[in-house]
Structure 1
């Protein structure tokens, strides 16, 4: 039979451990989100090692991986992936870690996420749409080489040519024309790439698409 003092010591140690764990859990949520945002890899990995859920989300449904990717914190993204988070998870706006990394032009983060098999093709907006919207041609080609669907339509039925033409990304438009994308699609508002380019003052882009259309006849 154990002596009373041994039992008391055991119970005290167990209670202390419980309280410590409770303190970590109670205060770690904001710390984890802040670490992902600020790129504090050491603090974040420490919290994850102590049991914080790698799929922790903020009020907008952004996971730690989405936040770190959005901010371009490559080292933090790499560290997070070791804890097996949901790589393809999408926030309340429908954005994934890869989508926001592409939107921000964070090439190194995109490379890390592609290596982790982040989804390229899915319903709604895709990483390739974001690359076209922002005119990130290097990332566009990288996503395309990885298997992104160049013909995918956004929720408003816009394609990559429409998005690039709308925002004045002339080099990407030329590239898309050379790749042979359809030139005369219309989105849900009935607007074509040429019309969208002209309405935004991108007449040079409209002329490039019109000339390509003439050559294809």
Structure 2
């Protein structure tokens, strides 16, 4: 974490991409400890990272977190404005990937959010009235 802070403070290009279109923030999920959430927060808040950026496969940070079953990161990303509806190049949403990854907790959370969005959308529909001239 300290190295990440030092790099950001000294102007490291956190938007640089590798051959797969991945930025440093996209690779954080490969870390083996829980410190990566702090680094992700640093890159999103101070490093110019974008929560809904996609890599060459169309994956967002939320796709990776959902697939890996990281509930805390999923919550964090949604709080930061991550879209639960973005589809990757394989037409999969984060919910699809959570199912594929086998994370019941993440599936339940994303399903409940999706249901709330659908309920709100349907309840806001109105029947158009005929205009009288």
Query: For this structure pair, what is the TM-score category when the shorter chain's length is used for normalisation?
Result: 0.7 to 0.9
> Mean Cα displacement is larger for which, 133-142 or 206-215?
133-142
User: C-alpha distance in 2, partners of 1:133/1:189?
Assistant: 21
Q: Name the residue aligned to 1:202.
A: 103
Q: Name the residue aligned to 1:140.
A: 40
**Are the equivalent residues in 1 in contact too, given 2:51–2:81 (CA < 8 A)?**
no
**Alignment TM-score, normalising by the size of structure 2:** 0.75
The CA deviation string for residues 105-130 of structure 1, in whole angstroms up to 9 with x for no partner, is xx121112112211122441012212
Computing the radius of gyration from Cα coordinates, the structure with the larger value is 1
Q: 1:133 to 1:209 in 2, by over 3 A?
A: farther
DSSP 3-state at the match of 1:198: helix
Which one of 73, 94, 105 corresponds to residue 193 of structure 1? 94
Q: Name the residue aligned to 1:131.
A: 28
User: C-alpha distance in 2, partners of 1:157/1:190?
Assistant: 9
1:110 aligns with 2:1: no
User: C-alpha distance in 1, partners of 2:76/2:115?
Assistant: 17
**Are the equivalent residues in 1 in contact too, given 2:51–2:80 (CA < 8 A)?**
no
Runs of 4+ aligned residues of structure 1 deviating over 6 Å after TM superposition are: none
**Are the equivalent residues in 2 in contact too, given 1:128–1:140 (CA < 8 A)?**
yes
Structure 1, unmatched stretches of 5+, are: 1-106
**Alignment TM-score, normalising by the size of structure 1:** 0.48
C-alpha RMSD of the superposition: 1.6
DSSP 3-state at the match of 1:158: coil
Equivalent runs, 1:70-81 vs 2, <5 Å: none
Q: Name the residue aligned to 1:167.
A: 68
Equivalent runs, 1:145-156 vs 2, <5 Å: 145-146=45-46, 147-156=48-57
**Are the equivalent residues in 1 in contact too, given 2:67–2:101 (CA < 8 A)?**
yes
Q: Name the residue aligned to 1:157.
A: 58
Query: What count of residue pairs does the alignment treat as equivalent?
Result: 111
Q: CA deviation at 1:179?
A: 2.2
Greater relative CO (CA pairs within 8 A, separation 6+) = 2
